[in-house]
Structure 1
Amino acid sequence: MPGFIPWLLLLFLVTAAATWAARRYAIHRQLVDQPGERRSHSIATPRGGGIAIVVALLLAAVVLGSQASGDAGLFAAFGVGLLLVAGIGWWDDHRPLPASWRLLVHLLAALIFAAALYRHGAPAWQAGLAVMAILVLVNVWNFMDGIDGLATSQALLVAVAGAFFMNGPWSWLAAALFAACCGFLPFNFPRARIFLGDVGSGALGFALGALLSLVPGTAKIAPWLFLLPPAAFLVDAGFTLATRILRGERWWTPHVTHVYQRAARRYGHVAVTTLYALFSGVTLLLMWMLSNAGTGYGLMATLVWYAFALALWGWLRKGLS
């Protein structure tokens, strides 16, 4: 494996340079998100900067796959799936596509990775988990990518959990995701000079879904604990979506009813992104504190944290309505 610090530094620089180039490209092609009643930003901003994260992750997958020969096929499937999800997102950033088209490509990417995981020796239930995790997180990260720095910073924190609490080359891929998010974040926070776009939010969701599906075979700690860092996103996205469905709304269309969107209108993007980061940062501390706990204790801690997150979501939603 490459040296750890040079590895992170290289991917950070690659992402930063690619983000700078992506911003120039977006301005030249007029790929700009305009403010509107269904958006949370107030000035026109270029989109599609997440392609830089895709470049860094593909580089990481090639290097790690070439050095971890036993996992080469799985890294190849990861790269193909990432290209599919990022590719349909890149297309959508240029020319909006029907949601059904995007979902079909997401499903294909998930199935390719799951099939590779199964051929790699994982049980069928873990391959099924990969499909579910990828489909859920691709869409969750797309739903939650609405204010400056939020989606990137949350992905960064989940990646930290993978880097520290997973074994083998996949912990290096999690570290690569961390470095890529660090390279992109200065362009996106505290004031966004470019947005991730669907290419970026989809890529982040795919990478995180793939990593989480590998937890059962690579975790240093109770596997349930890996559900702690994405709790803020899963609760806000999941229960907001459920609420819209129950109300008979067109749940697949853009909206500004997530708790983070309501809070951003009142308190600003920087405050909300920072508070979400603090909430998720606490989960990393919990993972460390519970690192010697058994699976039963890990499950109990996860359920308690999600109950707390749901209660907090309900309280904030009521207060911000």
Structure 2
Amino acid sequence: MLLGLPGGIGPLTAVALVLATAMVAAIGWWDDHRPLAVLPRLGVHMLAAFLAAAAVLWSAPPGALDGIPPGRVLWLLPAAAWAAWSINLHNFMDGIDGLLGLQTVFVGAGLALLAAGKGDVALAGAGLVTASASLGFLLFNLPPARIFMGDVGSGALGLWLAALAGMQAVRHPQLAWAVLVLVSAFAVDATLTLLDRVMRGRAWYTAHREHLYQWLVRSGCSHAGADGRYLGWNLLAVAPATVAAANWPHLAAAICIGFYGLSGLAWMIGKRACIARVQRRTLHELA
């Protein structure tokens, strides 16, 4: 899709993205069937992330990054870090039926609309195909799920979404802040949960049930109910903020930063409410 449509990426970029995605899928399949230690898994993730980041940065049309410091080479490290984090955060957030599928449909459709607004047929098509494929999977993954992604699916999807978002940013730099807003629901939950665990001295790399969506379920919410809350937040808060950032580029940075602050506050309030509900229920059961 990205290779063949007008304005598509070159063959070397396409091969690099396919190879990077295959690397993440392969290590995920291995980990699904024979659990690996953290370091080998992260090592493959970083290699794939650097490969994908390089492919995305060098796919920018001539002049697209002119005047944007510090240039392609120095952007490689933060871009790779973002891609590696995207791999892992999508894996972390794939813990209940339907949630990752719904997020992928939303983000894929959002990226397609943003690209279409710029006349970018190739990128709009890629976003639409991503959303459509996820919707087909979602039909069997909604609660109660009949099929699951596993690490092989969630990790590869995380890298692919990071690549699509990155291509949106390098091909249309004025949309970079809007893209950050678009992916904020998962980014905020996974990032704040990780930081919270690190600050409390927990082993951040071990499995846990401390994301907001997991606290929702632990507090008595069904998988469908938790999915609905995330979908509602995306439609009622994330979508309008993304549209605002895309249409008012001179305010986009302020909109993005402010929205992440609002999202962090909502995350904190929601998590505290869930923990309090769990504690009350525990006390009631012990009484």
Report the counterpart of residue 286 of structure 1 in structure 2.
Answer: 241
Paired residues of 2:5 and 2:121 also in contact (CA < 8 A)? no
Report the counterpart of residue 60 of structure 1 in structure 2.
Answer: none
Aligned with 2:255 (options 290, 301, 321): 301
Measured in 2, the distance between the counterparts of 1:280 and 1:98 equals: 34
Measured in 1, the distance between the counterparts of 2:52 and 2:254 equals: 30
Paired residues of 1:81 and 1:112 also in contact (CA < 8 A)? yes
Aligned length: 258
Paired residues of 2:178 and 2:243 also in contact (CA < 8 A)? no
Report the counterpart of residue 207 of structure 1 in structure 2.
Answer: 160
Once the two structures are overlaid, the 10-residue window that deviates more, 265-274 or 215-224, is: 215-224
Measured in 1, the distance between the counterparts of 2:224 and 2:54 equals: 41
Matched, 1:171 2:109: no
Paired residues of 1:221 and 1:293 also in contact (CA < 8 A)? no
Report the counterpart of residue 142 of structure 1 in structure 2.
Answer: 91
Measured in 1, the distance between the counterparts of 2:217 and 2:174 equals: 35
Measured in 2, the distance between the counterparts of 1:134 and 1:83 equals: 14
Matched, 1:87 2:41: no
Measured in 2, the distance between the counterparts of 1:264 and 1:146 equals: 10
Report the counterpart of residue 180 of structure 1 in structure 2.
Answer: 133
Unaligned runs of 5+ in 2: 66-71, 276-287
Deviation at 1:98, TM superposition (A): 1.1
Matched, 1:65 2:19: no
Report the counterpart of residue 266 of structure 2 in structure 1.
Answer: 312
Deviation at 1:115, TM superposition (A): 2.8
Paired residues of 2:56 and 2:163 also in contact (CA < 8 A)? no
SS of aligned partner of 1:146: coil
Measured in 2, the distance between the counterparts of 1:202 and 1:299 equals: 29
> Structure 1 counterpart of 2:39, which letter?
S
Measured in 2, the distance between the counterparts of 1:186 and 1:222 equals: 31
Paired residues of 1:117 and 1:127 also in contact (CA < 8 A)? no
Report the counterpart of residue 100 of structure 1 in structure 2.
Answer: 39
- TM (norm. structure 2) is 0.83
Deviation at 1:83, TM superposition (A): 0.4
Paired residues of 1:165 and 1:220 also in contact (CA < 8 A)? no
Paired residues of 2:177 and 2:245 also in contact (CA < 8 A)? no
Report the counterpart of residue 281 of structure 2 in structure 1.
Answer: none
Report the counterpart of residue 282 of structure 2 in structure 1.
Answer: none
Deviation at 1:287, TM superposition (A): 2.4
Deviation at 1:222, TM superposition (A): 3.2
Report the counterpart of residue 278 of structure 2 in structure 1.
Answer: none
Measured in 1, the distance between the counterparts of 2:81 and 2:234 equals: 22
Instruction: Among all aligned residue pairs of Structure 1 and Structure 2, give the percentage whose two residues are the same amino acid.
Output: 33
Residue by residue over 1:152-184, the C-alpha shift from the partner in whole angstroms, topping out at 9 and shown as x without a partner, is: 111221111211112242222221111110110
Matched, 1:239 2:226: no
Q: 1:241 to 1:289 in 2, by over 3 A?
A: closer
Measured in 2, the distance between the counterparts of 1:176 and 1:66 equals: 14
Unaligned runs of 5+ in 1: 1-62
Q: How does 1:114-153 map to 2 (within 5 A)?
A: 114-120=53-59, 123-153=72-102
Aligned with 1:76 (options 9, 15, 19): 15
Residue by residue over 1:83-111, the C-alpha shift from the partner in whole angstroms, topping out at 9 and shown as x without a partner, is: 00011111111111112111111111112
Measured in 2, the distance between the counterparts of 1:70 and 1:259 equals: 37
SS of aligned partner of 1:65: coil
Paired residues of 1:66 and 1:72 also in contact (CA < 8 A)? no
Report the counterpart of residue 4 of structure 1 in structure 2.
Answer: none
Paired residues of 2:241 and 2:259 also in contact (CA < 8 A)? no
SS of aligned partner of 1:277: helix
> Structure 2 counterpart of 1:252, which letter?
Y
Q: 1:132 to 1:106 in 2, by over 3 A?
A: same
Report the counterpart of residue 250 of structure 1 in structure 2.
Answer: 203
Deviation at 1:220, TM superposition (A): 8.2
Report the counterpart of residue 104 of structure 2 in structure 1.
Answer: 155
> Structure 2 counterpart of 1:101, which letter?
P
